[in-house]
């Protein structure tokens, strides 16, 4: 992790031991964000006004659903609230909480001095630590600047003046998958007629560099990699009280479409580059990609019993029949169904229509 040939805060290059985790293959889309927030706002969550107005790609681009662009204009505070909301939405226990009150982070008015802790041993959604992000982005490419090697151009990622067709905005998630045709007339800054290669990384992740930079959990400390408190094992960065600044900031990684990847700028699309932002700020080139710890706590643990046998009530989605197996929830299709062999296996619940269907 880190680099001995980059910025001061990236040194030294060092080993980090990281527990297993799951990570989103793509950056969170506007569609995914809206799906969760629409129900979260009905269940005690509040978000900033800015997140209601994300940039939906460049104005000229009409070839794909504009909700498939990565979500942006979200503060770090919005991000942790959304992770909690997504956990509840998917039947998992939320992770972020106020250590003074033990209240889950939902609608609090947060500031840089707000204390926020994490239930690290639960399977809910959260932001990656810097170490998790760099591991996922780098794969086995130890020492490389980028996931595929030491060079980059507009056929590989979306960044400022790269020559890709999205220089003025984000690209659809997973755009650089080898299937798209780049035509010169589509380029906002000119370019070549060619089909880019598939630029998924070692772990099959897309857009880990460029497009939108991704919020991480860690507080920023320039000298953290040299700090003796960094044990190199599941490192989560400094605590708030360890920081010597009156304006603490959080880290985001990967660089966005507005990043100038020149040497004079420190090549901010490099995997090791540590971007910094205040937790209440937002930008059109900043979004999130979430992770989950490799834990297997039961789904829908907060379901309420009813007077009807195995029927349970879920505050977000309605009534469900309990069986021994887990529930499977497919938000894209809009329904929930149980996996098993009971007489109720064929019932599908459509939360958007508040109705049931027998199949």
Q: What is the pLDDT along the chain (359 residues), one digit of tens a residue?
A: 999 999 999 999 999 999 999 999 999 999 999 999 999 999 999 999 999 999 988 777 776 678 899 999 999 999 999 999 999 998 899 999 999 999 999 999 999 989 999 999 999 999 999 999 999 999 987 889 999 999 988 888 999 988 777 777 899 999 888 875 554 444 444 445 556 678 899 999 999 999 999 999 999 999 999 999 998 999 999 999 999 888 999 999 999 999 988 877 889 999 999 999 999 999 999 999 999 999 988 877 878 887 777 777 877 877 776 666 556 666 656 666 655 544 555 666 665 566 666 66
**What's the CA gap between 125 and 106, in Å, rounded?**
14
What pLDDT is recorded for position 120?
A: 98
Q: Are residues 7 and 97 in the same domain?
A: yes
> Half-sphere exposure of residue 90, counting CA atoms within 13 Å on the CB side?
20
Residues in a beta bridge with 350:
335, 355
H/E element, 134: helix 130-138
Rg value, the chain, Cα? 21
- Smallest Cα–Cα separation from 135: which of 19, 277, 295, 288? 19
- C-alpha to C-alpha distance for 167 and 278, rounded to whole angstroms: 25
Domain-ending residue, one of 296, 328, 350: 296
If asked whether residues 261 and 311 sit together in one domain, one would say no
Q: For residues 309 and 290, state if they share a domain.
A: no
What is the predicted pLDDT for the residue at 267?
Answer: 92
**Closest among 88, 82, 111, 114 to 100, alpha carbons compared:** 114
Q: Which of 296, 317, 350 is the last residue of a domain?
A: 296
DSSP characters over 22-84? EE-SSPPBHHHHHHHHHHHTTTT----SGGGS---S-TT--SS-GGGSBP-S--HHHHHHHHH
- The pLDDT value given to residue 205: 97
- In three-state secondary structure terms, 107 is coil
- What local confidence, expressed as pLDDT, does residue 188 receive? 44
Q: In the chain, how many domains are there? A: 2
82 and 140 inside one domain: yes
- Choosing from 296, 313, 337, the residue where a domain stops is 296
Q: Of 349, 307, 300, nearest to 325 (Cα)? A: 300
Q: Is residue 289 located within the same domain as residue 314?
A: no
Q: Which residues pair with 250 in a beta bridge?
A: 219, 277
The torsion angles phi and psi of 227, rounded to 5 degrees, stand at -75, 135
**Residues 286 and 308 placed together within one structural domain of the fold:** no
CA distance 267 to 56: 26
Same domain, 288 and 312: no
- Regarding whether 243 and 338 lie in a shared domain, the answer is no
pTM summary value = 0.88
Size (the chain), residues: 359
User: Are residue 116 and residue 246 in the same domain, yes or no?
Assistant: yes
Residues 231, 313: one domain? no
Pair 252, 150 in one domain: yes
Domain span holding position 62: 1-296
CA 45 to chain centre: 18
CATH number at residue 207: 3.90.1580.10
- Strand, helix or coil at 276? strand
In a 10 Å sphere around its CB, with 0-12 CB exposed, 13-18 middle and 19+ buried, how is residue 225 labelled? buried
Instruction: Give the pLDDT score at 250.
Output: 98
Asked if 213 and 241 sit in the same domain, the reply is yes
């Amino acid at each position: 992790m880190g680099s001995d040939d980059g910025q001061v805060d990236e040194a030294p290059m060092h080993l980090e031991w990281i527990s297993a985790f799951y990570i989103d293959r793509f950056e969170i889309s506007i569609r995914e964000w809206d799906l969760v927030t629409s129900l979260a706002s009905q269940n005690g969550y509040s978000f900033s006004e800015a997140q209601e107005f994300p940039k939906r790609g460049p104005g000229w681009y009409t070839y794909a659903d504009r909700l498939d662009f990565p979500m942006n204009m979200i503060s770090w505070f919005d991000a942790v609230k959304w992770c909690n909301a997504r956990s509840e939405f998917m039947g998992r226990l939320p992770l972020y909480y106020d250590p003074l009150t033990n209240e889950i982070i939902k609608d609090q008015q947060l500031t840089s001095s707000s204390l926020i802790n994490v239930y690290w041993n639960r399977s809910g959604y959260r932001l990656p630590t810097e170490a998790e992000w760099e591991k996922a982005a780098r794969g086995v490419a130890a020492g490389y600047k980028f996931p595929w090697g030491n060079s980059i151009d507009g056929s590989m990622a979306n960044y400022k003046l790269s020559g890709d067709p999205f220089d003025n905005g984000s690209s659809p998630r997973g755009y650089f998958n080898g299937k798209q045709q780049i035509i010169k007339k589509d380029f906002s800054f000119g370019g070549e007629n060619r089909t880019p290669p598939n630029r998924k990384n070692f772990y099959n992740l897309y857009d880990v560099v460029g497009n939108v930079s991704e919020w991480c959990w860690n507080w920023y400390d320039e000298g953290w990699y040299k700090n003796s408190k960094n044990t190199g094992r599941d490192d989560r960065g400094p605590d708030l009280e360890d920081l010597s600044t009156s304006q603490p900031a959080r880290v985001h990684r990967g660089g966005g479409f507005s990043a100038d990847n020149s040497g004079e700028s420190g090549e901010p699309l490099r995997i090791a580059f540590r971007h910094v932002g205040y937790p209440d700020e937002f930008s059109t080139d900043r979004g999130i990609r979430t992770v989950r710890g490799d834990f297997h706590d039961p789904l829908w643990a907060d379901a309420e019993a009813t007077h009807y046998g195995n029927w349970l009530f879920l505050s977000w989605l309605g009534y469900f029949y309990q069986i021994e197996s887990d529930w499977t929830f497919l938000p894209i299709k809009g329904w929930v169904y149980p996996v098993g062999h009971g007489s109720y296996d064929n019932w599908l619940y459509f939360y958007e229509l508040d109705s049931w269907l027998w199949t």
